[in-house]
Chain A
């Protein structure tokens, strides 16, 4: 086993990061890793910024990390990538969904959506940017966006040999969405250049 790894899945409440985490954790458990995962419920869910942390290795202690300690951030929304950028290690990897979601303060015209989110992230980190929403939509449903991003994460972290991810996805999602999510996984995987 290699050194412990930490992933941050960040986005906006309701984007489906929980299912992504579930697939990731399911595969890691099957591969025999010790796994810990942390999420926060309650007030933060109401359209707010949300983050789920997943940590794995031979033996994991803390279910949360502080700044400068994550191996990868998977951002379901690009401003959220910027918000959590300081949690990444200097050699950390980022998968970013090229998707913009205005916060209530932006929608109200009180402030503007920050310009240059992607460029700023690309300047400092190894970034993989994809339009996961568009890819998901083309595959048949915007709802599989989370698995598109998961496919990208597997490629970006070179995790293909950890476990048979396709069978983990097949077991995790409801049967009627199985084919869709497998296509989503492959599309997300292919969207990232190794």
Chain B
């Protein structure tokens, strides 16, 4: 049998393709990004795009569903917060073509700002939820998700976690099934979410959920593995794999693939066949609380805890008290935190911010969140996508109201984040007269998630050229009469730009513009810097730019030639002129 080693994300993309999906829209976010990076290979059969944000992506996919085709949107867990508005109402209205929303959660926050448990979205929005536990299930469950969506007239929430999305396991592929698209007919009763229609849709939704629970009790996605009657485990998602390794061989499992609604009669029946029932799940007691509320005694969170990822050894330790044989070698590794890359265009901007103790800088989500790390330490906050401008606005208004006059407030975000949800914040500042300088760090790409296109980058996900939106034109149209565009790698110009913006009598904004050095289609000016040891006095000023390539050994600075790209930011801060870029 031909089996392929696929990540969960690759398998989800394949599953969508095989299910005959025709329209796909997403905004990148770890750990969901690779689903859409896989889709362009199927572009002869489906349309796929990066949308400006998750709400847009959800609306595009839902629109396609209304028009009668199967559609997909995908996002990281916090992206569902952005998309929640259309999701809740789509649940009321129902679907045309099957509609699947992938939520990729990130327990242990490998690359996230929180570890919210998005299973509660399924409960609260009343969506059927499928949770695969390996890559084969990612593929198979996608196809089932579309069948359920169409059979029950509901959007389906397809939830993964980092270890499902990014782990690779063996998958047998199937064939794409093309689906006939019914002729479009307007259905205002169904799709116009007016109060009168919503009044009718809500009871229909409740009835659907009841029917779905009966369906879930009989679905092969919820499967009993009877191995003994002593211990039974109800589990789902990646926790199933952990529990299989952690519990003794004579443990029976009720492995759930459909976790909303929970198949309570199936659980009750399973519970009656075992002496002790455990519920093993990561993060919150989503299943356990419902099972207890149904009057079924079980044990779970009191042992496993609700913080961070689990693994087989942790479960064994917490459930059975069997500590793993851990060796302490007596030497501790020092931390190796991520840092802005050598040559990162953000470095010059954050260095400039770091030189002014009176600057207050509200940051945002992206590579530039690293501007808050030592030694740059140039951020006051980072909350959510697009929050940089508006959190800054709130702080500035608070300073005004409290009579604080010695603070200069900046709101900072990248180009992709600006298009995601920063534009409304830019409007807010200029219209409501905020004493804030909005700064867009334009590196021409969506950096942190691994270089996805955005409306400013000039290309689409499918690889076509597109007319890029000009950030300066958008800001000017909003009323920023003084838009200063600066190369952040030129520290003198960067400082001038900041002072000009602060002194401006008309609304001012700054765009720092230099492409990410990792963009392959751009020819970058790469070189090497070197330290003249005779001129270096060991003052360590060069370390203040926080570049991984700059090292001080003994009393002298040194540049790691393997890492250096010759951006010269360190050279510009050296008071002795000891660092220079080598001539080619």
Look across to chain B and name the residue whose beta carbon is closest to the beta carbon of A22.
B5
A-side contacts of B476, CB under 8 Å: none
A130 close to B (CB within 8 Å): no
Cβ B334 vs Cβ A108 within 8 A: no
A110-118, A157-165, A186-194 - interface stretch:
A110-118
18 contacting pairs across A/B (C-beta < 8 A): A25-B168, A29-B3, A38-B167, A41-B33, A42-B449, A42-B450, A43-B338, A48-B338, A62-B238, A63-B134, A65-B313, A83-B333, A86-B326, A89-B325, A103-B335, A107-B548, A110-B374, A115-B331
Cβ B338 vs Cβ A47 within 8 A: yes
Chain B: interface size category:
35 or more
Please give the number of chain A residues whose Cβ is less than 8 angstroms from any Cβ of chain B in the complex: 60
Question: How many Å from the CB of A86 to the closest CB on chain B?
Answer: 5
Question: How many Å from the CB of A95 to the closest CB on chain B?
Answer: 16
Cβ A41 vs Cβ B546 within 8 A: no
A18 to B167, CA, bound (A): 13
Q: List residues of B (145-175) whose CB comes within 8 Å of A's CBs.
A: 162-163, 166-170
Chain B 316-343 near chain A by CB (<8 Å), digits 1 or 0: 0000000011111111111111111100
Kindly count the residue-residue contacts between A and B in the assembled complex, taking CB atoms under 8 Å apart. Answer: 186
Cβ B543 vs Cβ A107 within 8 A: yes
A120-128, A148-156, A166-174, A176-184 - interface stretch:
A120-128
B504 close to A (CB within 8 Å): no
Cβ A37 vs Cβ B334 within 8 A: no
A69 to B335, CA, bound (A): 23
Cβ B110 vs Cβ A40 within 8 A: yes
Look across to chain A and name the residue whose beta carbon is closest to the beta carbon of B323.
A68
B115 close to A (CB within 8 Å): no
Cβ B110 vs Cβ A113 within 8 A: no
Question: How many Å from the CB of B395 to the closest CB on chain A?
Answer: 25
B408 close to A (CB within 8 Å): no
**Residues in chain B within 8 A of chain A (CB atoms):** 3, 5, 30-31, 33-34, 110-111, 134, 162-163, 166-170, 238, 241-242, 244-245, 309, 311-314, 324-341, 367, 370, 374-375, 448-450, 540, 543, 546, 548, 550-552
Look across to chain B and name the residue whose beta carbon is closest to the beta carbon of A113.
B334
A175 to B242, CA, bound (A): 39
State the majority secondary structure of interface residues on B. Answer: loop
Look across to chain B and name the residue whose beta carbon is closest to the beta carbon of A60.
B169
Look across to chain B and name the residue whose beta carbon is closest to the beta carbon of A37.
B168
A82 to B336, CA, bound (A): 13
A-side contacts of B170, CB under 8 Å: 29, 34-35
A-side contacts of B167, CB under 8 Å: 36-39, 63-64
A85 close to B (CB within 8 Å): yes
